[in-house]
Structure 1
Amino acid sequence: MHENQLVLSEEHAAFLIARRFPEYRGHVIRRLETSGTVNAIFRVGEEATARFPLLSHDSTGPDPALAREASAMGEFLQASPFPGPRPLGIAEPSAACPGGWSLQSWLPGVTPSPHSHESSDGLADDLADLITALRRHPTGGRTFTGTGRGGVLQQHDGWVEECLHQSLGLLDVGQLRKLWEHFRSLPPAGAHVMNHGDLIPANLLVDGDRLSGVLDTGGFGPADPGLDLVAAWHLLDEPRRRRLRERLGASDGEWERGAGWAFEQAIGLVWYYRESNPPMAELGRCTLNRLLEAGVGR
């Protein structure tokens, strides 16, 4: 999916896992085929998963993001009514993985697709309960300080313009450009609240039509209250989006910023992953179609 991407066999992963966590020596190591774009995921026996970053850390030494992610995962568990993975440890850098890697507990469940649960009232209600609980967790005076999604929509103009250019011939760029002009004109959020930060289908687990767990919780932190509303556009049809919005009591501005963050994420998925990660490209196409069909900004 990426230039200079880490390539790691199950045998090499087993060697690294046994060297750092000898208690798992002899456990079956299986690489999981996921649509994830950041980590190679290996299941370690029945209890754990190892996450190896696909792209190397830029400088020598441990990637400080791993410690931040472990801390955020622990904080997420305090806030969430649904289970998430527990951090089990961080491995030091090696020639195979220059920034280090991490071990987490295993969570059972299956991930939904963009359409599989779109008409589920239960999932809409569970997402509303999750977002409400995360928002209630105190920020401790923190605000969003990153460069990714969650700050100010207008700061992503350059990225969106590149994506629109790359999407010529793949998507209705004219309509999408008009949509972005609307999103970028929205006033910024007021006070920030705690967000998961990436509520896409691949980061959720379901049991039947109900939410059973939440993955990739290392980005838990303060951001625009609209950020976690991307889940509405990635997962739900119009009646269920309305149900979720009513449960949250989202204002017009908050709801539209949520649509803007969903757009900013989806616009990069189709062209970038259309050959290397078709499920992620399909998520982008589905989300953009929902935004256009909903007539946001008209």
Structure 2
Amino acid sequence: MPTAEVDVTVSLVRGLLEAQHPDLAALPLQVVANGWDNVVLRLGDSLALRVPRRALAADLVRHEQQWLPVLAPFLPVSVPVPVRTGVPSDGTRGPAYPWSWSVVPWLEGRPVGETPAARRWSLARPLADVVTALHRPAPADAPRNAYRGVPLVVRDTAMRERVATGRVPCGDMLLACWERALAAPAWDGPSLWLHGDLHPANLLATDTDGRLSLSAVIDFGDVTAGDPASDLATAWLTFDPPARAVFRAHVSRAPYADDATWERALGWAAYFVAMLLTASDDAPLLHAIGEHGLAQVLADA
């Protein structure tokens, strides 16, 4: 994972709370996740904090703060709409910290990536409902992410560089899949809202008598507007073939999800696989998602 530029600790965050949200500062606080961009801490029983660990994530947190309240009413699942916001601190009052941060609801459920793929079948239709509800035209001032929702050719050099490292099994086969996707018709519709990072570590599910229920979609830091194909890559990152067929059939009721979109989605899945396999040695869950995605992409390619 990328190196942290700020060491986000319990003591740092408690100091920020004492200075900016003192009514929350005495609640129990513990680190529960350390991701590519943010550290997540649980605050008491019902709250959590998303605190950037590197500069690139600072804009992502602000995007969540601005746009999640707009998007949440359209979505048929819980999402981490900020309930409080934090601001940068120069150290005059409380500890120094350079970026904005958020207090969000604590959402119940386990990351879907921790559950065997064969058990995820019950999530295919609910996740399809989420993406089709989200994929609506975005306004002109929606955020733009240079790494998601863009034409595949924009990521061509990065894709080839990752495969050239030799750390991606069956790299030639994955590149053949990628090149087929590059040849597909480009997206020519309006820029649609996208989650931007829709993989099974960002999906939460609860288990009732062995059946999984989608309880939340989290980490909207990469929220952007563009080609919906990059979100649909989750079909290969999250599901096995039977569940993927259900997901695809349900999403394909939307007019934008034509054959060309699914061809580009397979290319995006190949790209995410290469990224996960070359940059997640210290993140076992993400690396496992890459391994699963590789098998699924090659099976369909």
> What TM-score, normalized to structure 2?
0.87
CA gap of 1:99–1:132, structure 2 versus 1, over 3 A, is same
* Displacement after TM superposition at 1:218 (Å): 4.1
Choose from 162, 171, 174 the match for 1:173. 171
CA contact (8 A) 2:64 2:221 kept: yes
1:283 alignment partner AA: I
Measured in 2, the distance between the counterparts of 1:205 and 1:40 equals 17
**Equivalenced residues, count:** 287
Residues 105-254 of structure 1 correspond to what in structure 2 (within 5 A)? Answer: 105-113=105-113, 116-135=116-135, 137-140=136-139, 145-166=144-165, 168-191=166-189, 192-208=191-207, 209-249=212-252, 250-254=257-261
Identity of aligned residues (%): 27
SS of residue in 2 equivalent to 1:267: helix
Residues in 2 aligned to 1:100 and 1:33: alpha-carbon distance in whole angstroms? 18
**How far did residue 71 of structure 1 move?**
1.6
Q: Distance in 2 between matches of 1:143 and 1:72?
A: 8
Pair 1:222–1:27, CA change in 2 (3 A):
same
- Stretch of structure 1 that moved more, 63-72 or 247-256: 63-72
Shift of residue 142, structure 1, vs aligned partner = 6.4
Measure the CA separation in 2 of the matches of 1:118 and 1:229.
Answer: 19
- Worse-superposed segment, 247-256 or 216-225: 216-225
Mapped to 1, the partners of 2:50 and 2:84 lie a distance apart of 11
Against the structure 1 CA distance between its residues 186 and 230, is the aligned structure 2 distance closer, same or farther, given a 3 Å change threshold?
A: same
The Cα offsets for residues 239-277 of structure 1, whole Å up to 9 and x where unpaired, read as 111111111223211111111112222211112111x11
Measured in 2, the distance between the counterparts of 1:93 and 1:125 equals 40
**Displacement after TM superposition at 1:143 (Å):** 7.5
1:25 corresponds to which residue?
25
Aligned residue for 2:265, secondary structure, equals helix
Corresponding residue to 1:284 among 280, 283, 290: 290
Deviation at residue 193 of structure 1 after TM alignment? 2.2
Instruction: Report the more deviating stretch, 248-257 or 149-158.
Output: 248-257
CA shift for structure 1 position 162: 1.7
CA contact (8 A) 1:84 1:213 kept: yes
How much is the aligned-residue C-alpha RMSD, in angstroms? Answer: 2.2
Q: Which amino acid aligns with 1:129?
A: D
Q: How far apart, in 2, do the equivalents of 1:6 and 1:37 lie?
A: 12
Q: In the aligned structure 2, how far is the partner of 1:162 from the partner of 1:57?
A: 22
Indicate the residue corresponding to 1:293 in structure 2. Answer: 299
Shift in alpha-carbon separation, 1:141–1:3, aligned structure 2, 3 A = closer
Match of 1:86 among 76, 81, 89: 81
2:217 partner letter: V
Report the Cα distance in structure 1 between the residues aligned to 2:108 and 2:220, rounded to whole angstroms. Answer: 15
Deviation at 1:84, TM superposition (A): 0.8
Counterpart for residue 37 of structure 2? 38
Q: TM-score, normalised by structure 1?
A: 0.88
- Return 5+ residue gaps in structure 1 as ranges: none
> Is residue 62–residue 100 contact of structure 2 (8 Å, CA) maintained in 1?
no
Q: Where does the alignment leave 5 or more consecutive residues of structure 2 unmatched?
A: 91-95
Equivalent runs, 1:43-58 vs 2, <5 Å: 43-56=42-55
Take 1:144 and 1:98, find their aligned partners in 2: how far apart are those partners?
21
Residue identity opposite 1:72 in structure 2: W
Q: Which residue of 2 aligns with 1:268?
A: 275
State the shift of 1:206 in Å.
0.6
Distance 1:93 1:233, change over 3 A: same
User: Which digits, 9 at most, give the CA deviation of each residue in 1:123-145, with x for residues without a partner?
Assistant: 1110111112112x442456774
The 4+ residue runs of structure 1 with deviation greater than 4 A are 141-144
1:72-101 alpha-carbon deviations (Å, 9 max, x no partner): 211221210111112123322236532232
Letter in 2 for 1:227: S
| Equivalence for 2:93 | none
User: Do the aligned partners of 1:50 and 1:101 also contact (CA within 8 Å) in 2?
Assistant: yes
Q: Is the 8 A contact 1:139 1:222 kept in 2?
A: yes
Q: Is 1:2 aligned to 2:2, yes or no? A: yes
